[in-house]
Structure 1
Amino acid sequence: MICSRFQLPSLRLMGTAVPKPLAVKLPNVTPSPLSFESPSAFRVKTFGELLRALCVFQFCSFPLLVNNCAKLMSVAQSLLGRRGVSLLLKPTFYSQFVAGENEKEIFKSMEKMSSLGLRPMLAVPIEEDLGESSGEKRYDDNMNAMLECVQMSHRNSWSKDPMMQLKITALLNPELCAKLTKLISQQPYDLSLLVRAMDGEPINFAGLDENEVSHFHCGLQRLNKIAEASVNKVRVLVDAEYTYMNPALSLVTMAMMKKFNKDGVWIWNTYQCYLKESRYLLLKDLQLSQNEGFGLGVKLVRGAYMDKERKMAETENHVDPVHQSWEDTNNSYNGLLDVLLEVISKRPESYRIIVATHNEESVKRAAKRMKELDIDNDGGSVCFGQLLGMCDHVSLTLAKEGYAVYKSVPYGSVSDTLPYLVRRAQENRTVLQGIRKERDLLRQEFKRRLRGGSKSSV
């Protein structure tokens, strides 16, 4: 059963008590040699790539511009038209954060990434939220785009263990997800019901009307088709979204895991550590995976929807679901990281994690703990992830040291990816505004080139 929230019970995993991460006393070991202080990581970039990154990051360092980027894009479109905006964005922001528009451009970007030891994690940039829901044809079109993403990820040798991202609300009405979240907080659904519905069995889900049941069935079968196409080929990382729909998304994701993660970890869930309930949610799902006998894949993130979550809580007179301080979020992230690495060290075949963060201290902590627990750098159970076009000094350094490193890679036309880029910029503006160090390292490498230094491999 899946519940949305209740008091955390005393859980036991693999016969041992789940450790309290902040109370674990770690042995004294030699500090991790990882260092992200040198601009040499950027020597693989061309002069043009350095210049573009510097210009883009300079723009992103101004909060006023980032906060109002949607309005700026709207004004630009009214003045320049769609073609003019495309000509403006394609060589700048688009090229910095998007892999390409067509298969040839995407392949070229992926080949270069692979040559640097980085692995692509392709993402179809589809944006859906409350009030933006579509008909079944639109959701079917989204499914076909994701099936193409599976094929593209699998049929090329960019990495030995390909991944892709999946957004459930691109396949299932966000309003229905919000309603399901309320329903399962009162009367949880059994995972087996959803698995049977994925297999095509007509199930009457309590609390939903006839049209909602029909759409839910269609959505589950869309997800089933993507999962079937992915098993033994591509690992599918399901995105988390807002708290008013996350329990429903997790319910669906756990059902997919129950069906498809029996002999491998192919479906993964995302856990947002800026939420106060993140520890409870992850420990609950660890216990669930043990009880149900399936593997659990974890994408561990800090989170990107803080402002909207707090505004919604205030408007609806709810308790703020987000940690009150950045330090509390860090403690949450690092604590869950410790728990997962401990579990993985015991059963690496059943549990996996992508340490999806731009935070250098968390990356160093993970690398250090992997050494302590004798977890292979590139054994498949632990990998790292950052966004395309950002945090390259961390990504490239990790790759050089032999760790598995993925870059989240959106692709598509400028018009298709513009809503994605705008929303990501607004949701991740604290990250964008905190790129001073990367910008300074880029500037150092830029000056070195101007003085006559040559480009070299990392």
Structure 2
Amino acid sequence: MLWTCPVLHCHSRPSSGGWQPLRFDGGAFYRKGTGELARALLVLRLCAWPPLVTHGLALQAWSQRLLGSRLSGALLRASIYGQFVAGETAEEVRGCVQRLQALGLRPLLAVPTEEEPDSAAKTSETWYEENLSTMLHCVDLSRALLDTAGQAGNGLMQLKVTALSSTRLCKELTACIQKSGGSSELSPERLAEAMDSGQSLQLPYLNAEQNQHLQASLRRLHQVAQHARAQHVRLLVDAEYTFINPALSLLVAALAIRWNSPGEGGPWVWNTYQAYLKDTHERLERDAEAALKVGLAFGVKLVRGAYLDKERSVSQLQGTEEPTQPDYEATSRSYSRCLELMLRFVSHHGSLCHLMVASHNEESVRRATKRMWELGIPLDGPVCFGQLLGMCDHVSLALGQAGYAVYKSIPYGCLEEVIPYLIRRAQENRSVLQGARREQALLSQELRRRLLGGES
């Protein structure tokens, strides 16, 4: 059962008094029901158990054979699916979002669709066209949720490029970028022109089939961005693996040229920057300065990064230097530097720069709120915070109560599609899940308080 409270409105500016650090002590858990807290504790403990995460897909298949699809599905819906997924239907998603909004939190919808390179069915143009329809529906749903809540402003949703363009093409484009050394053949301006005009683009680096797929990919990306702009929904493009990120950045830059002009009310297309990569601070500074120099708005989702193990194994296999920071502490220092850089850009350029502080780390969030106060950045301004649905609620709720704009990344969809997606995300976010011990301790503490106090 949900304990509802009135939604807290954002303050128009930081308090004129001294800065008061937020308390991430679970005090805001009083706004959640006992059943929700118990499920969260159980699921987070399960997800922190390495064998379950490592062998998740095999265990799911085993449970279906042993228990049958219906019982196995019911157990998943009552546990992992119920904790991390909004639901399958638009009505279920709307109900989840309304519960979040009652807690002062906002939705960031995420379609759990991604390419599986070994599956021929999932690398055909038909599959990408189906994903396009799904993304367009996500835009409409994001807008409808905003209208239902009676909120002014813009919605946000996540966009995964490899749902609309193949990983193989992104690998080829990345190789071309590295070979061409900034050739005008692969400039964002040229891709933006091809997106806008619909004219055929023939790159000498690609064969006929690849050029055809590139043209279709550009059309799909442009169509999503165009529809999102019309529906007042901002697109936060997910970062992926290092070996395709240059191609993703090129495609995002092309979209930004078309849709991030201040006259359009931009930025409508944001890129994601991963602090665990060694060159992130340099790239972030370069990209921000380049965008502002030509008069474009600039949107950033700043994350630590989720592909550490895969990145290291690939570099070891190829015998190349690891692109990632050596350890978590170095990643945290990188995150702090990037955060400081972007907050300064926001304070100097106002609404031209937008930032999502996407972090489950209490110190990073606390640092961001303090620097916002010191730099005079209003709570309802161009800086927001983001965490995953079902995780880090002690941070999300504290931020929401204090009046900050807080978004929860919300996957939705049918059980068969979402569970494999969740397991892959869990494998990529092992450190986050295993590091959620403090949240587990706070949940245990609140549950003991209620049980001993006789609360229900």
Same fold (TM > 0.5): yes
In structure 1, the partner of 2:250 is 251
How far the C-alpha of 1:378 sits from its partner, in A, is: 1.3
In structure 2, the partner of 1:267 is 269
Q: Counterparts in 2 of 1:282-321, with a 5 A limit? A: 282-321=284-323
In structure 2, the partner of 1:217 is 215
In structure 2, the partner of 1:346 is 348
In structure 2, what residue type is equivalent to 1:247? Answer: P
* Alignment partner of 1:108 is 2:107: no
How far the C-alpha of 1:350 sits from its partner, in A, is: 0.9
In structure 2, the partner of 1:144 is 133
How far the C-alpha of 1:452 sits from its partner, in A, is: 3.5
* Alignment partner of 1:84 is 2:50: no
Select which of 101, 107, 111 maps to 1:120. 107
Select which of 189, 192, 195 maps to 2:192. 195
In structure 2, the partner of 1:5 is none
SS of the aligned residue for 1:241 comes to: coil
Q: 438-447 or 88-97: which moved more?
A: 438-447
In structure 2, the partner of 1:55 is 42
Q: 59-68 or 243-252: which moved more?
A: 59-68
Q: 184-193 or 118-127: which moved more?
A: 184-193
CA-to-aligned-CA distance 1:263-320 (integer Å, 9 cap, x gap) = 2111000000001111122122112212332111000000000000000000111111
CA RMSD of superposed structures (Å)? 1.5
Q: Given that residues 70 and 422 in structure 1 are in contact (C-alpha distance below 8 angstroms), is that contact kept between their aligned partners in structure 2?
A: yes
**Distance in 1 between the 2:203 and 2:104 partners?**
47
In structure 2, the partner of 1:359 is 361
Q: Given that residues 258 and 292 in structure 1 are in contact (C-alpha distance below 8 angstroms), is that contact kept between their aligned partners in structure 2?
A: no
CA-to-aligned-CA distance 1:105-139 (integer Å, 9 cap, x gap) = 11100111111110000000012154345111110
Q: Counterparts in 2 of 1:317-332, with a 5 A limit? A: 317-332=319-334
**Distance in 2 between the 1:404 and 1:242 partners?**
29
Q: Given that residues 116 and 123 in structure 2 are in contact (C-alpha distance below 8 angstroms), is that contact kept between their aligned partners in structure 1?
A: no
Q: Given that residues 97 and 145 in structure 2 are in contact (C-alpha distance below 8 angstroms), is that contact kept between their aligned partners in structure 1?
A: no
**Distance in 1 between the 2:445 and 2:324 partners?**
37
* Alignment partner of 1:206 is 2:208: no
Unaligned runs of 5+ in 1: 1-28
Moved over 6 A (4+): none
In structure 2, the partner of 1:397 is 398
Q: Counterparts in 2 of 1:223-238, with a 5 A limit? A: 223-231=221-229, 233-238=232-237
TM superposition score normalised by structure 2: 0.90
SS of the aligned residue for 2:351 comes to: coil
How far the C-alpha of 1:86 sits from its partner, in A, is: 1.2
* Alignment partner of 1:135 is 2:140: no
How far the C-alpha of 1:84 sits from its partner, in A, is: 3.3
SS of the aligned residue for 1:344 comes to: helix
In structure 1, what residue type is equivalent to 2:417? Answer: D
In structure 1, what residue type is equivalent to 2:420? Answer: P
How far the C-alpha of 1:454 sits from its partner, in A, is: 4.3
In structure 2, the partner of 1:43 is 30
SS of the aligned residue for 2:91 comes to: helix
SS of the aligned residue for 1:290 comes to: helix
How far the C-alpha of 1:219 sits from its partner, in A, is: 0.6
Change (3 A) 1:416 1:186: same
In structure 2, what residue type is equivalent to 1:137? Answer: T
SS of the aligned residue for 2:45 comes to: helix
Q: Given that residues 129 and 169 in structure 1 are in contact (C-alpha distance below 8 angstroms), is that contact kept between their aligned partners in structure 2?
A: no
In structure 1, what residue type is equivalent to 2:192? Answer: V
Change (3 A) 1:129 1:250: farther
Aligned residues: 425
CA-to-aligned-CA distance 1:84-106 (integer Å, 9 cap, x gap) = 32112011100000000111111
Select which of 173, 176, 186 maps to 2:179. 186
In structure 2, the partner of 1:410 is 411
Change (3 A) 1:94 1:206: same
CA-to-aligned-CA distance 1:384-438 (integer Å, 9 cap, x gap) = 0000000000000000000000000000011110121011110111111111111
Q: Percent identity?
A: 46
How far the C-alpha of 1:325 sits from its partner, in A, is: 1.3
Q: Given that residues 117 and 123 in structure 2 are in contact (C-alpha distance below 8 angstroms), is that contact kept between their aligned partners in structure 1?
A: no
In structure 2, the partner of 1:3 is none
SS of the aligned residue for 1:349 comes to: helix
How far the C-alpha of 1:453 sits from its partner, in A, is: 5.2
SS of the aligned residue for 1:297 comes to: strand
**Distance in 2 between the 1:229 and 1:395 partners?**
30
* Alignment partner of 1:441 is 2:442: yes
In structure 1, what residue type is equivalent to 2:406? Answer: V
Q: 67-76 or 412-421: which moved more?
A: 67-76
CA-to-aligned-CA distance 1:231-269 (integer Å, 9 cap, x gap) = 151010000000110000010001101100102111000
In structure 1, the partner of 2:420 is 419
| Structure with more helix by fraction | 2
SS of the aligned residue for 1:52 comes to: helix
CA-to-aligned-CA distance 1:50-80 (integer Å, 9 cap, x gap) = 1111111121222222222222223223323
**Distance in 1 between the 2:405 and 2:83 partners?**
22
In structure 2, the partner of 1:171 is 164
In structure 2, the partner of 1:11 is none
**Distance in 2 between the 1:246 and 1:406 partners?**
24
Q: Given that residues 19 and 373 in structure 2 are in contact (C-alpha distance below 8 angstroms), is that contact kept between their aligned partners in structure 1?
A: no
In structure 2, the partner of 1:21 is none
In structure 1, what residue type is equivalent to 2:351? Answer: E
SS of the aligned residue for 2:79 comes to: helix
**Distance in 2 between the 1:102 and 1:286 partners?**
38
**Distance in 1 between the 2:18 and 2:293 partners?**
37
Q: Given that residues 345 and 373 in structure 1 are in contact (C-alpha distance below 8 angstroms), is that contact kept between their aligned partners in structure 2?
A: yes
Q: 272-281 or 351-360: which moved more?
A: 272-281
**Distance in 2 between the 1:183 and 1:300 partners?**
27
**Distance in 1 between the 2:423 and 2:48 partners?**
15
